[in-house]
Amino acid sequence: MKVLILGAGSIGGYVGGRLQQSGADVTFLVRAPRRERLERDGLVIKSTKGDITQKVKTVLKGSEGGPYDVVLLTCKAYDLDSAIEAIAPAVGAATTVVPLLNGMRHIDVLAATFGDAKVVGGLARVGVTLSPDGAILHTSPFAAISFGERGSGPARAALVELDAAIKKSGIDGGLHKNIVQDLWDKWIMLCSLAAMSCLMRGTVGDILEAGEGQAIMLETVEECRKVAASAGGDPGEKGMQTVAGYLTQKGSRFAASMLHDLEKASMVEADHIVGDMIARAKKAGIATPNLRMAYAHLQVYLARRARGGIGKPAL
């Protein structure tokens, strides 16, 4: 099985690095500066599960090095259009596209581009960042990816092979029998956390210090749950208890990466994670006052960022 990974950043670099370390045939589609660094320094992973430095195969164009059985897409949602353009030459008749993005909207876009049958569901739960010197820093005790068919049929051969490779690599997860539910479960948690972290500019623990903090957090979670339920993705009582457990833990330093991006004046996935949840809510006739407030806050930030106003007086 030949795997192409778009980029060698935090998630793509970590997953691809672990796969190659265990013997998988992995190629990274990267830009020229990243290729130069990888050729000079190797792919460097500093991890709670063990450090590695290794040489990796890279290409600058999707048309090189194929054909590929699997293309792993690990970009940010706001880079989806350019990502599609980059991987399009690599997607052949027998290629499976496995996106590891947050939310759900990207699946519709990818299916419309490459055909519904080529695109499966996937997600990542990996706490990683990219250091200024290009090293991948994995600091969390967990590293997992899940993927699977979006329909009810058996998993295709490429996913079965990828599942075996993931398990051999030491990454948790792998093939999931109900990946759509898994996507909803993560999105409920992430959308609630991102919306509230960015609106209130704090961690879960900081939010819970506010008099109405826990009540507002749980209201936001319920807004997201209703949207999921309207699409057949209600996590059920046990699933909601898990979400609430993470988002109502006193003193928690848990925060969405979107907050870190916002505080660095970086681009954020506001439309894909929060805006799309609201759009689906409107179609289902579900009120989302807390999400709307948070999304408006993020839109104002993006407007101010676009005019170069971040870090300057508002007036």
How many Cβ atoms are within 10 Å of 290's Cβ, its own excluded? 21
**Taking residues 110-120, what's their average pLDDT?**
97
Question: In terms of Cα–Cα distance, which of 86, 61, 63, 60 is closest to 75?
Answer: 86
Cβ(237)–Cβ(171) below 8 Å: no
Could you list the active site residues?
A: 186
How many Cβ atoms are within 10 Å of 245's Cβ, its own excluded? 9
Domain check: are 147 and 244 in the same one?
no
In a 3-state reduction of DSSP, which class is residue 313? coil
The dihedral of CA 99, 102, 104, 105: what is its sign? negative
The DSSP element (H or E) to which 302 belongs, if any, is: helix 289-306
Of 133, 155, 177, the position where a domain reaches its end is 177
Backbone angles phi, psi at 51, to 5 degrees: -85, 145
Rounded CA-CA distance 200/204 in Å is 10
Q: Give the confidence band of 1 by pLDDT, cuts at 50, 70, 90.
A: very high
Residue 311 has pLDDT above 90, yes or no: no
Q: Kindly state the percentage of the chain with pLDDT values over 70.
A: 99
Quote the pLDDT of residue 165. Answer: 96
CA-CA distances (angstroms) from residue 174 to 6, 119, 167? 19, 16, 7
Q: Is residue 146 part of a domain?
A: yes
Instruction: Find the CATH number of the domain harbouring 105.
Output: 3.40.50.720
Residue 249 has pLDDT above 90, yes or no: yes
In a 3-state reduction of DSSP, which class is residue 6? strand
Quote the pLDDT of residue 130. Answer: 87
Domain check: are 228 and 262 in the same one?
yes
Q: Kindly state the percentage of the chain with pLDDT values over 90.
A: 90
Quote the pLDDT of residue 314. Answer: 66
Of 115, 150, 177, the position where a domain reaches its end is 177
130 vs 167, more confident: 167
- What tens digit of pLDDT does each residue of 220-234 get? 999 999 999 999 999
Domain check: are 145 and 222 in the same one?
no
Domain check: are 141 and 229 in the same one?
no
**Taking residues 3-7, what's their average pLDDT?**
96
Domain interval for residue 94: 2-177
Backbone angles phi, psi at 175, to 5 degrees: -65, 130
Domain check: are 131 and 195 in the same one?
no
Domain check: are 24 and 165 in the same one?
yes
**Tally of domains within the chain:** 2
Q: What is the pTM of this model?
A: 0.92
Burial of 76 (0-12, 13-18, 19+ CB in 10 A): middle
Q: Is residue 150 part of a domain?
A: yes
Cβ(275)–Cβ(282) below 8 Å: no
Rounded CA-CA distance 193/207 in Å is 10
Rounded CA-CA distance 180/201 in Å is 30
User: Considering only 42-46, 91-95, 253-257, which range has the smallest mean pLDDT?
Assistant: 253-257
Q: Is residue 102 part of a domain?
A: yes
Q: Give the confidence band of 315 by pLDDT, cuts at 50, 70, 90.
A: low
- What tens digit of pLDDT does each residue of 49-89 get? 899 999 999 999 999 998 999 999 999 999 999 999 999 99
Rounded CA-CA distance 194/291 in Å is 10
- What tens digit of pLDDT does each residue of 121-147 get? 999 998 888 899 999 999 877 899 999
Tokens for 197?
A: 């972290």
Domain check: are 143 and 15 in the same one?
yes
> Helix 179-200 vs helix 236-247: angle between axes, to the nearest 10 degrees?
30
Domain check: are 170 and 190 in the same one?
no
Backbone angles phi, psi at 225, to 5 degrees: -60, -40
Domain check: are 173 and 207 in the same one?
no
Q: Is residue 295 part of a domain?
A: yes
Quote the pLDDT of residue 200. Answer: 96
What does the mean pLDDT of the chain come to? 95
Q: Is residue 311 part of a domain?
A: no
CA-CA distances (angstroms) from residue 37 to 5, 31, 44, 52, 186? 17, 10, 10, 16, 33
Residue 310 has pLDDT above 90, yes or no: no
Q: Is residue 313 part of a domain?
A: no
How many Cβ atoms are within 10 Å of 201's Cβ, its own excluded? 14
Domain check: are 136 and 204 in the same one?
no
Question: In terms of Cα–Cα distance, which of 255, 259, 247, 253 is closest to 298?
Answer: 259
Cβ(128)–Cβ(138) below 8 Å: yes
Rounded CA-CA distance 8/56 in Å is 10
Instruction: Find the CATH number of the domain harbouring 200.
Output: 1.10.1040.10
